[in-house]
């Protein structure tokens, strides 16, 4: 099955970013913002490198993350857990999804689809293998992505987005291979020169692709999150 509008997705993936630098900068940004009221600005230089700064030093800089002026930015913590049938569960993390998609130049629909399939938007999800949070990060992957608090929804989303960006770069923006790598690992995709012949991974790719299409086609995240 081919994914609708793959060309559009590939164009979004095609502007490669220097992942290592952005990982460190965004991780530092989130740490600083959790303890200060500074606004964070983002801009891209002539070489295509993404910069983050607490001072709007460049005319091209745009507000990326507004500093936390109350409650240390933990809006989620004050809302409590949403019931399984509550449609708001699919909209609670919209701001952080948009920020992560912007920082790592990924389609928001991809992040939403991965979160839907991995955890069904449950920030406390824990797999039998030990994967945690909205994007079901394994502890070693979380550490590599510089996630300090794996159960924090915002850090988990940004960590998963960093990993997806690295995979997208590794597979030249191929959406299906990027999704397969998130499930089976980059090495397995390279070894098989495509989606690995694992039933779990093949089903995973199709399921994420299905929800990816739904999130692209529907403005209402709650509606798009319904099982097709």
Catalytic residues: 118
Rounded Cα distance, 84 and 221, in Å:
15
DSSP string covering 4-55: TTHHHHHHHHHS---HHHHHHHHHHHHHHHTT----EEEEE-TT--EEEESS
Spell out where the chain has E strands.
40-44, 50-53, 62-65
Rounded (to 5) percent helix, strand, coil in the chain: 55, 5, 40
Encoded tokens for 153: 């929804």
């Amino acid at each position: 099955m081919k994914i609708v509008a793959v060309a559009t997705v590939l164009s979004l993936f095609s502007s490669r970013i220097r992942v290592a630098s952005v990982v460190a900068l965004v991780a530092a940004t989130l740490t600083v913002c959790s303890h200060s009221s500074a606004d964070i600005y983002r801009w891209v230089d002539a070489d295509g490198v993404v910069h983050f700064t607490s001072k709007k030093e460049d005319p091209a800089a745009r507000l990326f993350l507004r500093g936390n002026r109350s409650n240390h930015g933990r809006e989620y913590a004050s809302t409590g857990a949403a019931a399984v049938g509550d449609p708001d569960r699919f909209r609670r993390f919209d701001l952080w999804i948009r920020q992560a998609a912007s920082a790592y130049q990924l389609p928001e629909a991809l992040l939403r689809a991965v979160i839907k399939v991995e955890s069904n938007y449950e920030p406390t999800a824990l797999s039998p293998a030990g994967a945690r949070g909205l994007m079901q990060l394994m502890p070693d992957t979380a550490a590599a992505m510089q996630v300090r608090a794996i159960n924090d929804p915002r850090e988990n989303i940004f960590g998963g987005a960093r990993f997806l960006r690295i995979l997208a770069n590794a597979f030249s923006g191929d959406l299906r291979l990027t999704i397969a790598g998130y499930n089976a690992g980059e090495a397995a995709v390279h070894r098989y020169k495509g989606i690995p012949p694992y039933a779990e991974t093949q089903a995973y790719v199709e399921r994420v692709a299905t929800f990816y299409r739904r999130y692209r086609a529907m403005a209402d995240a709650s509606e798009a999150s319904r099982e097709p």
